Structure 1
Amino acid sequence: MFVNDHNHPLSEKCVEKRQWKSHNFIDPMTKAFIRNLTENNVSLGKIYNILCGVNSEPGVAPYRKETLKYLCSRMSQESAKKDISDTIRLLQDMRAADGNLVVSINVDKEGSVKSILWCTSKNREDYAHFGDVVTFDTTYRTNLYNMPFGLFVGVNNHFQSTIFGGVLLRQETIVDFEWAFKTFVETMNGKHPQTMLTDQCKAMEAAIKNVLPHTRHRWCKWHIVKCAKEKLGFVYSKNSTSKHEFHSLINDVMDVTEFEKKWEMLIDKHNMSTNTYLGNMYANREKWAKPYFTGVFCAGMTSTQRSESANHMLKKYIPRSSPMHLFVKQYNNLLRSRITDEGKEDFVTKMKRRVIKGGNPIEADASQIYTNAVYQRFE
């Protein structure tokens, strides 16, 4: 018998109908598709638009955005609950697939994880060939535990950024960096980098001095310019002559005697002899001034930009507040993308014929030996 008083009013429009709980169901295949999108850092709004596009009725999703939001939230909670077990399982699977993978874990007295460093066989192979110069940066923090993530990055024979390894740290103290640098070198069969570029972090500086005594430490030029702008204020303003003179010291001067002379002139001209920041910069000039790196191999790098660029790429792969296992999984996807880019350059080097313009015998010899990117620079 039909009793009208016990029924809700009928929904007249499709958009009304989708508000009923009966339209909250999402099939397993779509759930897996949604999970894959969230793991690859696709936003909730974009996921909803994608689902609208693939639905049988174009422009309309079969369920509410609130339903999708609840599903993504539940997936995130479930992922966080079993994070440690999933991370261990993932590392075990990685080790089974890559016999030369090295994973090092540092724990405290209570058995809690302090640091995790891992390097794949490809990382270690690349370091053996290109590990003379390493940049290191820990600005990336997008993970569930807000742990700083450090990347060891270099440049390969195609002048591409190549990743040598990654380390998750609980803190950024001297002891933590000492463990990271020492473990990294041990993982790389004891090979120390000739040159290491970092920002002006005091803890990193002390750790490099203690653990890598034969490695030349160089400060990132970009950070020096950034700090100069912050510390010197109006003296370093847009139209100030001191700014142009300071940049010239960093970029143009090649001789130590000339540098010393121009630095003294800069200080006297702008009456900055008592400036603490410039006093500290001068005391540490061997870490950043170009004349002091004459004869020191730096692979064309003057900053940690390659590490920071890799960190920027990580943000595209890894969603905010991601659990550890997802972080490792997506980091591996980044490594695979770098391998693909390297393979493309290998192909171009082998298949693209080099045009010899000058007719010099050394040109022909170089065209047979160098990669395409190196040959272009040589030319």
Structure 2
Amino acid sequence: MEIGLPTSDKMDLNMDQDCCSSNSALVNASQLSASSKDDAYRGGLLKIGTEFEPDEHAYRIYNKYAKVVGFSVRKDWLNRSKVHGLVVSRKFTCSKEGYRRKDKRDLNVKKRQKETRTGCLAHMIVTRQPDGKYRVTHFEAEHNHDNIDPNNADTQLLQRELFVDQAAKADLSSNSGTESSSTYGLMNRRIEVCQSLDYLAMDFENSLRSERVRDMKEGEAGRLLRYFHRQHIENPSFIHGIQVDIDDKVSNIFWADDKMVVDYDHFGDVVCLDTIYRTNKDLQPFVQFMGVNHHNQAIIFAAALLFDDTVESLKWLFNTFLEAMSGKKPKVILTDQDAAIAEAVNSILPETSHRICVWQMYQNVLKHLSHLVKDIESFSSDFRSCIYDSNYEEAFVHAWEGLLDKYGLQQNEWLRWMFREREKWSMVYGSNTFFLDMKGSHVVEDLSNNLRSYLNSDQDALQIFKIFERVVNEQRVKEKHANDEMTRCMPRLPGNVVLLKHASAIYTPMAFEIFQKEYEKCLNVVVSQCNENGFLLEYKVNAFGRTQKYTVTINSTDDTVVCNCMKFENVGFLCGHALKVLDDRNIKMVPFRYILKRWTKDARLGSDGAESGTGDVLIIAHRRGINGSSSCSF
């Protein structure tokens, strides 16, 4: 039997009525904080008293928990009733529980198998209750070993059966046909914990005080919500939020999964809000929160459909995003040029640096200056050069004025307004602000364009969501391939350079490529002057054959170094100017305070609750040697 969801876009969510006394705008099965995964599950989805039906559901949920935290599960003992043969109790453990049994035959074996067990005590025991449900009666979250990489957890042998079994269960549950008598049209209501669907209680304002701006197609909301329900069963950590308008019609929809939450915890220092639908009003109003991982690949933190994009709705979007990400705010958010977005960001993210995303600004160029882009081939390249190729304010202003003169645009109102707002988008005004470098901006742009190529005006919300899922999975496969390549190979180094050996052992290959370019620049940097002022040494440097000088200041007591080009502050790598000064001071390894964990091979390992990004130096880098071993080079 089909779940009794309405075919209209009224927000009557029948699927939740059995376990929720009222409804929440943010339905979140685990509200997972990657910085404290065990505590999140201990206090939420997995804890003593949590109930499952049947016992295999408990196994699936524990597997999902293991996948997120980063370990593999083994089925331990099982007790069956002698009366009816049903499972009375059973235990699931970490795969590293216990130790391998000694075998006398091993005495004659020269090369023994490596010991993989550590006597880990992490486990969960469920016991059958009189009502037929299985309750968690013992739960130990602590492990006595380093967890494996969550990215590779799905390759563990005991995880392979999870997805097929989950899919079958989802189909059964989706036909249960529960009844409902409530809507989502209430504000500040709190749902009760629903053990059967593993929802968490949450407070949130979820209703607009006006009608939505755009209409949904007939039955569109019901199909999407039915799909979300199946996602909750298949993936208990799936998160979605709903906002309705004054008529209880679905206005805005937000979603993210557990992997996105973990990604954001590691790489959420810079977030780009991609509002691609603004370039084509015929498209569905799709929005995504994006960033860049340690391989300089685009990743997606969350997505939304905004059928109402007023200031009120945008505030709801940012609030919902923060709720899903355990309240962690980005250091920088890049958005389109829009007054409503700016007001919402200032209201909800006042401490976050708000900048205009340059590549989204270029999309506005296509709209406001389409005649030039279409008719004059050189305009696009000249405009991009003006934006990306200027390293300091004087050069940028000169290039901008030259662009206006060349194409007769001195009186263009949009460009005049753009210049007044230049401090929000031009990179030369981004000192002390950590944001994406040009390549990082381009990979985000490429991902956005890739998704846009799949979208058209005939698609409904569910079709868009499935396309989005496919794109997300493609990006995750790319990261897995990059991780595999990183494990197998080390960069081919130009000679026996200690600094490069050190950096190549710590940085991911893509990050090392950025660092190596700065090192190569350093070889052509000339020191023209050095002034001493107490503990501070001030160097004047310039590239050989160039007149532009940079000031590098270093503290002789602790070797902290600052360059006025702000390369480290902007993208997280020491510039060639600073490397030249460090070399002049006979410092042959990258100081660990200047190695950001987000660019390292260990970016995803461990989490102590500290923020990733510009303030998150590599603490575990000392474990790596500077020589490293590899099976191949590139």
The interval holding the TM-score normalised by the smaller chain is 0.5 to 0.7
Deviation at 1:351, TM superposition (A): 0.8
Q: Distance in 1 between matches of 2:458 and 2:370?
A: 36
Q: Which residue of 1 aligns with 2:146?
A: none
SS in 2 for 1:104: strand
Q: Point out the more displaced range, 234-243 or 165-174.
A: 234-243
Q: Which residue of 1 aligns with 2:476?
A: 339
Match of 1:104 among 238, 241, 247: 241
1:116-153 deviation line (CA, Å, top 9, x unaligned) = 10110011110111111111222249xxx953010111
Contact persistence 1:136–1:307 (CA under 8 A): no
Match of 2:467 among 317, 320, 330: 330
Q: Which residue of 2 aligns with 1:218?
A: 355
Contact persistence 1:136–1:197 (CA under 8 A): yes
SS in 1 for 2:241: strand
Contact persistence 1:139–1:308 (CA under 8 A): no
SS in 2 for 1:373: helix
1:168-196 deviation line (CA, Å, top 9, x unaligned) = 11022222222112211221111222222
Contact persistence 2:382–2:403 (CA under 8 A): yes
Q: Which residue of 1 aligns with 2:316?
A: 179
Deviation at 1:107, TM superposition (A): 0.9
Q: 2:304 matched to 1:167? A: yes
Q: Distance in 2 between matches of 1:155 and 1:89?
A: 32
Change (3 A) 1:305 1:320: farther
SS in 2 for 1:176: helix
Alignment of 1:107-186 (within 5 A): 107-140=244-277, 147-186=284-323
The letter for the 1-side match of 2:246 is K
Q: Distance in 1 between matches of 2:394 and 2:247?
A: 55
Change (3 A) 1:99 1:373: same
Change (3 A) 1:227 1:325: closer
Q: Point out the more displaced range, 329-338 or 118-127.
A: 329-338
Q: Which residue of 2 aligns with 1:95?
A: 232
Contact persistence 2:283–2:456 (CA under 8 A): no
Provide TM-score, normalisation by structure 2: 0.41
Change (3 A) 1:284 1:95: same
Alignment of 1:161-310 (within 5 A): 161-225=298-362, 227=364, 249-256=386-393, 259=396, 275-301=412-438, 306=443, 308-310=445-447
Change (3 A) 1:232 1:366: same
Change (3 A) 1:301 1:150: farther
Q: Distance in 2 between matches of 1:139 and 1:156?
A: 21
SS in 2 for 1:325: helix
Alignment of 1:64-75 (within 5 A): none
1:309-362 deviation line (CA, Å, top 9, x unaligned) = 334433566675333333333322322222111111110000113222232222
Superposition CA RMSD, Å: 3.8
Contact persistence 2:273–2:287 (CA under 8 A): yes
Contact persistence 2:295–2:510 (CA under 8 A): yes
Q: Distance in 2 between matches of 1:319 and 1:273?
A: 37
Deviation at 1:274, TM superposition (A): 5.8
Deviation at 1:276, TM superposition (A): 3.1
Change (3 A) 1:303 1:170: farther
Q: Distance in 2 between matches of 1:347 and 1:302?
A: 22
Contact persistence 1:103–1:118 (CA under 8 A): yes
Contact persistence 1:130–1:156 (CA under 8 A): yes
Q: Which residue of 2 aligns with 1:27?
A: none
SS in 1 for 2:314: helix
The letter for the 2-side match of 1:322 is Q
Deviation at 1:268, TM superposition (A): 9.2
Match of 1:349 among 486, 501, 504: 486
Contact persistence 1:235–1:242 (CA under 8 A): yes
Match of 1:377 among 514, 519, 528: 514
Deviation at 1:260, TM superposition (A): 5.5
Q: Distance in 2 between matches of 1:133 and 1:185?
A: 14
Q: Which residue of 2 aligns with 1:364?
A: 501
More strand by share: 2
Contact persistence 1:198–1:303 (CA under 8 A): no
Q: Point out the more displaced range, 181-190 or 242-251.
A: 242-251
Q: Which has the higher contact order (CA 8 A, sep 6+)?
A: 1
Provide TM-score, normalisation by structure 1: 0.66
SS in 2 for 1:164: strand
More helix by share: 1
Change (3 A) 1:254 1:90: same
Deviation at 1:155, TM superposition (A): 0.7
Identity between Structure 1 and Structure 2 (%): 30
Q: Point out the more displaced range, 110-119 or 269-278.
A: 269-278
1:20-41 deviation line (CA, Å, top 9, x unaligned) = xxxxxxxxxxxxxxxxxxxxxx
Match of 1:321 among 458, 473, 478: 458
Q: Distance in 2 between matches of 1:330 and 1:233?
A: 29
Q: Distance in 2 between matches of 1:312 and 1:218?
A: 20
Aligned length: 299
1:71-125 deviation line (CA, Å, top 9, x unaligned) = xxxxxxxxx8765444333212222333322111111122111111011001111
Q: Distance in 2 between matches of 1:83 and 1:265?
A: 50
Q: Distance in 1 between matches of 2:242 and 2:327?
A: 18
Change (3 A) 1:325 1:371: same
SS in 2 for 1:368: helix
Q: Distance in 2 between matches of 1:118 and 1:104?
A: 6
Q: Distance in 2 between matches of 1:114 and 1:211?
A: 20
Deviation at 1:229, TM superposition (A): 7.2
SS in 1 for 2:494: coil
Q: Distance in 1 between matches of 2:465 and 2:367?
A: 36
Q: Distance in 2 between matches of 1:330 and 1:262?
A: 40
